[in-house]
Amino acid sequence: MSAAVEGVNVDNDSKKISFCRYENDGSEFDAWKDYIFQASWSHKCPTYIHRTPPCQGSCPSGEEIRGWLGIIRGMEKPPEGMDFEEYAFLRSTNANPFPSVMGRVCPAPCQTGCNRNVLEDFVGINSVEQFIGDTALAKGYKLAPPGADTGKKIAIVGGGPAGLAAAYQLRRRGHACTVFDDHAELGGMMMYGIPGYRTPRDMLQGEIKRILDMGVETRLNTRVGRDVSMADLEKDYDAILWALGCKSGRALPVSNSDAPNCVSGVDFLEQFNQKDMDFVPKKVVVVGGGDTSIDVASVARRLGYNHIAEEQVKNTGQDGAADGSQIGYVAHDAALLGARTGAKVTLTSLFPIENMTAAEHEVNDAMREGVDIQGSVMPTEVVLDENGRAKALKMAKCTVDAKGIPTKVEGSDYEIEADLIVSAIGQYGDFSDGLEDLNNGRGFIEADPFYQVKDRPGHFVAGDIIRPHLLTTAIGHAAVAADTIDRYLAGKDQVKRPKVDVRHFNLLAKLGEAHLEPETFKPEGDLRGTAESKYAVHNYEDRSTQEVISPDILFLGHFGFSPRSLREEVHISEDEVLGHFDERIKCLSTEQARAEATRCMSCGLCFECDNCVIFCPQDAVKHTPKKERTTGRYVFTDYERCIGCHICYDVCPTGYINMGMGE
């Protein structure tokens, strides 16, 4: 079996990669004379073009992934007096202040986008990010310091990933921030929506503390709208950012779904994470297919069933208000906790198991832990007992169209017995207690492309309350909203966001870091012929805000098979899962992290392989003198020697060399 990508054959059995110039079954070489020369004169000569790699283009929080991978591998050197781990940490947290958490729980769309997929297997980006985050916590690294005080104050409503990331970005600009949250602790979905064995609380709290240490104020156990009015915020603050999150779960769209033992996934997980739940009933059915449903099912398998405690709960009537205010299932007696056994947990999805939206490894772990996952099925009715409680969930097989709308397969009905039914099919915001006017009618806040609240000057929005998605998406919203707020406070008009709206390598900043910045331009003398001038960076073009580099631009023949440095994962069997709340993912060692980072192909930026220097037949491509060298300026072209043969372009693995001179 081979991958039909130009120039690449992958033997999945032997793991050997071979490169050919033709596509599979092709036989004709490019018309080289059309782009090399006409008659005896050179048509084009090399220049250096920076583009965005697809990992960064696929990252919703816009991290400069190629940059911190380059630092970890040792390609890009840190400033004097700083170790490479801290330099990588600062580069990573330029976009995302939660590398330890995100390295564990992000489903890593960056890895799906990674160009190395056309050769073999993606770079383990999130494993290296976890290494950066865990190392930073162990070594006590600080975030970039706050900027000079601007005298402006921002109220941030919601202390989850969006609110905290926005506070971080705004403090970097010198604005004072106060975070309002109605919980006793900050973290939002990271704290209350994801179990601790996936986001270890010491790591999460350490990353939150770094943000607070920048001078961010907090008002906890405070609900805006009830404890503090919107009018008060408008009076006391220069801007308001709404980062409410979506804490209300959607009920199943079937009859009887308001039964007292039918609850939402977000309520279930919040009660568990607040330690208000010690066990579950004997038979739990979870409806979903995304990451939240997997977390619910996995938690239920870990908590287990306790028949003695369940009888006590039923007798005291604590078994689950429909609004989720008290799901119950708390056993305060340690002896009762010791009496628990495994619960039967079933998870259902509209989509086939292989097409579920949850991360594949999480789905595999859940099945390994004893969760019965049923795909291509839909709920049709909650079946009640004589007391009005759910006793089963009626299901049917289904097909799903391109818009995600299911169609029942007639005659395929069946029932799943249930003592608790958990709906994890979507979430929306809670606009009670005075926030009703923010609701766009669909349970969200309407935002423009700059994340300004429609028709409310001075109000901004970020995170799930715009649309529920990934944690990394909420963090990306926060960065854009912080830019918007900064311009608003400065009285500036908003400017169109770039097409590729992520963090980018900045050659001028890198030159400045190495004290090699261009000289000040002085418009005097004969300005014709500026090749020797020192006020410009020559023969370099930055297209990163407009272009993502595709694999067909790379010279894939440079790369051979390189085995992944995999994190150690603790896989729990269904016989071991009861009571197992230890972390499942171990951090890479320094050696493993460097080895994995070395697999990065540095798409769109020179990674100093020397191919162009070695293969140039005219010795026209030369190393930049060491005292003038930085990342991105490793080589230069002597155009008096260049004949336009295109060999440097053909052998550049990263696509950094383009034959642009002469266009």
Domain ranges of the chain: 153-247+429-489, 249-425
First vs last C-alpha separation in the chain: 41
pLDDT at position 522, please?
80
| Whether residue 663 has pLDDT greater than 80 | no
What pLDDT does residue 162 have? 98
Categorize the per-residue pLDDT at 39 as very low, low, confident or very high, splitting at 50, 70 and 90. very low
Whether 153-247+429-489 and 249-425 share one fold: the answer is yes
- pLDDT at residue 386 in the model: 95
CATH 3.40.50.2000 fits 153-247+429-489, yes or no: no
* Environment class of 614 (CB within 10 Å of its CB; exposed 0-12, middle 13-18, buried 19+): exposed
pLDDT band at 423 (very low <50, low <70, confident <90, very high): very high
| Residues paired with residue 416 on neighbouring β-strands, in sequence order | 393
**pLDDT of 525:** 72
Predicted confidence band of residue 282 (pLDDT cuts 50, 70, 90): very high
pLDDT score of 341: 87
Looking at residues 449-478, what average pLDDT do you find?
96
Integer Cα distance of 354 and 376 in angstroms = 10
**Tens-place pLDDT, residues 619-649:** 999 999 999 999 999 999 998 898 888 899 9
The topology (CATH level 3) of 249-425 is FAD/NAD(P)-binding domain (3.50.50)
Phi and psi at 153, nearest 5°, equal: -125, 135
Q: What is the mean pLDDT of the chain?
A: 89
Instruction: Indicate the pLDDT class of residue 171, thresholds 50, 70 and 90.
Output: very high
pLDDT on residue 43 = 62
pLDDT level of residue 478 (50, 70, 90 thresholds): very high
Give the pLDDT mean for 410-432.
Answer: 96
Lowest mean pLDDT among 112-126, 191-205, 249-263, 314-328: 314-328
Separation CA 327–CA 319 (nearest Å): 6
Question: Which residues have CB under 8 Å from 113's CB, separation 6+?
Answer: 54, 55, 57, 58
**pLDDT for res 2:** 34
Query: For residues 328 and 268, what is the distance between their CA atoms, to the nearest angstrom?
Result: 10
According to the model, what pLDDT value does residue 524 have? 75
- The kind and range of the H/E element at 657 are strand 657-661
Picking from 7-21, 417-431, 587-601, 643-657, which range would have the lowest pLDDT averaged per residue?
7-21
| Residue 557: burial class (beta carbons within 10 Å; 0-12, 13-18, 19+) | middle
- Judged against a pLDDT cut of 60, whether residue 510 lies above it is answered with yes
Q: Does residue 317 surpass a pLDDT of 70?
A: no
